[in-house]
Amino acid sequence: MTGLNKPPMRASIHHPSATAWSRKRPLFLAAAVGVCMALPSFAATDQPLILQPIELPDIGDPAGALLTPTDEHNLGQSLYQSLFESGDLLDDNLVNGYIQGLGERLLSSADSLGQKYTFFVVNESTINAFAAPGGFIGIFTGLIEFADTEDELAAVVAHEIAHVTQRHMARTFEAAEQFSVPLAVAILSAVLLARGSNSQVTDAALFGGLAGSVQQRINFTRANEEEADRVGIQILGTSGFDPHHMGGFFSRLQRESRYYGEQAPEFLRTHPVNSSRVADALGRADAWGKPRNPDPQVFELMRMRVKVLSTKDPRRLLVELTENKDQTPRRQIANRYGEALLRNQLGEYNAAVTLLTALLRDDALRVPYYVAYAEAELNLNQPQAALKKLTEGLNLYPGDHAMTLAKARAQLAAGDAENAYQLMQLHNREGNLDRETWTLLATAADRSGHRAAAHEAQAEKYLLEGDRETAIQQLKQAQRAASDDYYASSRIASRLRDLETQQQDSKKDKKSPP
């Protein structure tokens, strides 16, 4: 099982005012609370839930309202950065790698027109997903847990990819008479993750009208939904998934939503469903042949990992997993894996090792088992045992992202910082540029005496986190540490000039009138 790699995170490209707006996010979250409370309740009828569009309020100069590809990327990147900075993303390289891999399988059959995509997981129990301009697609943990099969999850991801390829949200913003990228970022963040407390009711009352207007403009129209269904079904069929699961998922969600009362799943609020839409999706799916049969156990393991990582009550979940024996064989295996993760999380490391040893004996081809086993051994202060097992796994899957990171952690725990540094240098050169890779590279470089490299890696990590100023300071320290190395010093100086130019341009734009 390969492909469980965290998506490479590109250097942050902020709109000039995005940082300033992200600081105001709690205020807009409060506004969004009022919006969500005002949404019509979902009823189990054939009438779709559609919010009637109203005009956007006057929020600035409409000049240049058409979004360029760079504008779209900046908008999506800024939204992603806002979610990252607020801690709303599930930061797990196995889960993120799985979602990115699933998305890339679908993209192999999509008309992406050279668009780069970033798939990520939002740590929210809401059953929802969204597509932002620039190819940023977020999948909520609640949706992953709700999906019964990988085909159902793929159906939603394909639907969101279709929203991007057809530029639905970008066209909605372009249609607005007044448009501002930073305002759009703030409101998108708020609407997607509406939270609040009693102390925020006043802010919700003051700003609810503004957020409400934008919320109703970005809710997709019936035409957009039909187009996304049609294109999404085509993507599913041509990439080997079962297109029937799109209509099946909508039908199951609609059916089970009857038990929610007024708290309908958010996906139904933003993606209205009725029986004719379900029938149309199923009818279109009939045109496709028999789907390929990917390994269904991968989905079950990742679904369980999401459940464990997002639970607020691990003890209760542990009881649920150990007592629930009435499951399919695949679910039983996933439950054993979940139990091992929970035992490790709760400090029962020996029990976790025992469970994972049995799982590996039954199926030695599962990357998640190797990673979890290594984590348990490291918690027992047994780095050599962790390294031995990871070496076995990497012999099966050379260069696997999750196991390579786990091996570097084990090498550091064993006091072998130099080999950890060399491993992460190679892994980095192969295109793994995510935050955890940079963090481990910085740690290994620092402990092995490679000071300049440590500061360089720290700079890239801060840049991914949206902190360009600190990244610049780290590069200046790297430059001083590399003063005796002409090639390293030249490379660092070039990178430093790039970031300083970006910083100056950003400050100039901030001084410009809106």
pLDDT of res. 115: 82
148/139 Cα distance (integer angstroms): 15
Q: In this structure, what DSSP letter does residue 121 have?
A: E
Write down all domains in the chain, each with its CATH number in brackets. Answer: 66-179+224-285 (3.30.2010.10), 295-414 (1.25.40.10), 418-514 (1.25.40)
pLDDT of res. 61: 38
Contact of 488 with 482, CB cutoff 8 Å? yes
Give the bridge partners for 132, in sequence order: 136
3-class DSSP assignment, residue 375? helix
- Residue 39 neighbours by CB distance under 10 Å: 19
Which of 204, 285, 301 lies closest to 241 in space, CA to CA? 285
Whole-number Cα distances in Å, 27 to 208, 211, 481, 513: 10, 11, 43, 23
SS in 3 state form for 294-316? CCHHHHHHHHHHHHHHHCCCHHH
Q: Mean pLDDT, 10 residues at a time, over the chain (514 residues)?
A: 37 29 32 28 33 31 58 82 88 95 89 82 91 90 95 93 82 60 60 44 36 50 79 88 83 68 52 51 53 82 98 97 89 98 99 99 98 99 99 97 98 99 96 92 98 98 91 98 95 97 77 52
Helix, strand, coil percentages for the chain (3-state, nearest 5): 65, 5, 30
Contact of 497 with 470, CB cutoff 8 Å? no
3-class DSSP assignment, residue 485? coil
- CB-neighbour burial class of residue 85 (10 A; exposed 0-12, middle 13-18, buried 19+): middle
pLDDT of res. 472: 98
Mark 505-514 as b/e (b = at least 16 C-beta within 10 Å).
Answer: ebeeeeeeee
Which of 216, 212, 106 lies closest to 163 in space, CA to CA? 106
Which of 266, 264, 202 lies closest to 34 in space, CA to CA? 202
pLDDT of res. 387: 99
Amino acid at 165: T
pLDDT of res. 10: 30
Rounded to an integer, what is the distance from CA 141 to the centroid of its chain? Answer: 9
Which of 108, 132, 80 lies closest to 270 in space, CA to CA? 132
Backbone angles phi, psi at 302, to 5 degrees: -70, -35
Q: In this structure, what DSSP letter does residue 290 have?
A: P
pTM of whole model > 0.75? Answer: yes
Structure tokens at 362: 């039954």
